[in-house]
Amino acid sequence: MALSDLSGRLLLGPGPSPVSPRILQAMATETLGHLDPQFLGLLDEVNEGLRRLFGTQNPTTFPVSGTGSAGMEAALVNLLEPGDTAIVGVKGVFGTRLAEMARRQGATVVTVEGDWGRPLEPQRLVDAHREHPDARLLALVHAETSTGVRQPLEEVGRALQDSETLFVVDAVTSLAGMPVEVDRVGVDVCYAGTQKCLGVPPGLAPITFSNRAMDRIRSREHPVSSWYLDVNLIAGYLGSERRYHHTAPINLIYALYEALGEIREEGLEARFRRHREVGRRLQDELEDRGFEPFAGPPEARLPQLTAVSLPGGRDEGVVRRRLLDEHGIEVGGGLGPAQGRIWRIGLMGHGARHPVIDRLLEAVDRVLPQS
């Protein structure tokens, strides 16, 4: 196998999403040193662009070196100490992962569980906080990629505002595809991943920490259990000291820089509208063909991630494999209880375009009648 043998694919799964030629080209820029003043200037601009995207003034905003899960882990290892209580909303794979990571930090985890495919009722989260007012954090997944559900955040943000409990939000699939308003909603730590709506290859996890979260981290009793993800140490590289911590993934940061440029040129509102419009169109067209939406109610469906079951009880795995083998199109299968039951179709970043939907539907219309 040689790289040149790899054949073209259209990435319409839950990530990675298609990367635009412009971003691929940016990655081919000559590698600089991580302490080179030119690179540090670029990194400062990236962090400023991320602040705009997150809707925050937080000084501590940067890309974690690692995928979205590294962002999740960075949030939890920095905030939690053994014996802390963590409240976690669970209604899909990524809420389950948050709870597991929090447990591994020695926290007592209180889960608020709901049906996969439905958002959690905000009042239940507020009630859980009332029962555990001393909880260190409350964590929610904004866009649950395993089910295609959007979780409302505002009511919980308001309830936590005047408490000691920090609000942690997973925006891996929402950032750059729909509004994530960290400061307005009152989120303390928010992380994302580059390979979903940002349209950058996997490998970076943008993250932001509020000043109140940083105060809490500085006054920890125990050192952060992960040296690599310790934000106190990383801050020494991001700040004026420019102290070496670990080597930044230079060329991925070029890609993120270029993506932030693309987003600035398109405009955030236009970008959100584009994701909304193509997502709605795909969902309508699939329903016309007898696919059934997995997520509901309709206003809770994510436009950038469509979860559907196939018409006529077809074997989703067989049809999905034919889309890949015969048409070069990747869509995702279900996870957990939804495994073998649904498709998850991502229209994210560079993939959120009408010609992409045309190509997908043409392939579906060929493959489905023969399956």
Ligand X SMILES: *Cc1c(COP(=O)(O)O)cnc(C)c1O
Site residues, ligand X (CB under 6 A): 15, 67-69, 72, 94, 141, 143, 145, 170, 172-173, 193, 195, 202
Residue pair 42/257 in contact by the 8 Å Cβ criterion: yes
Q: How far is the CB of 16 from ligand X (least distance, A)?
A: 8
Q: In one letter, which amino acid is 108?
A: T
Q: How far is the CB of 94 from ligand X (least distance, A)?
A: 4
CA atoms within 13 A on the CB side of 101: 23
- For ligand X, the closer CB: 186 or 346: 346
- For ligand X, the closer CB: 177 or 293: 177
Residue number with the smallest Cβ distance to ligand X: 68
In Å, how far are 28, 214, 234 from 156, measured between CA atoms? 43, 21, 29
Q: How far is the CB of 355 from ligand X (least distance, A)?
A: 25
For 2-19, letters b (16+ CB in 10 Å) and e give eeeeeeeebbbbbbbbbb
- For ligand X, the closer CB: 200 or 250: 200
Q: How far is the CB of 166 from ligand X (least distance, A)?
A: 18
d(C-alpha 139, C-alpha 156), whole Å: 10
Phi, psi of 42 (to 5 degrees): -65, -45
- For ligand X, the closer CB: 55 or 202: 202
DSSP labels, 336-348: GGGTTT-EEEE--
Q: How far is the CB of 169 from ligand X (least distance, A)?
A: 10
- For ligand X, the closer CB: 61 or 174: 174
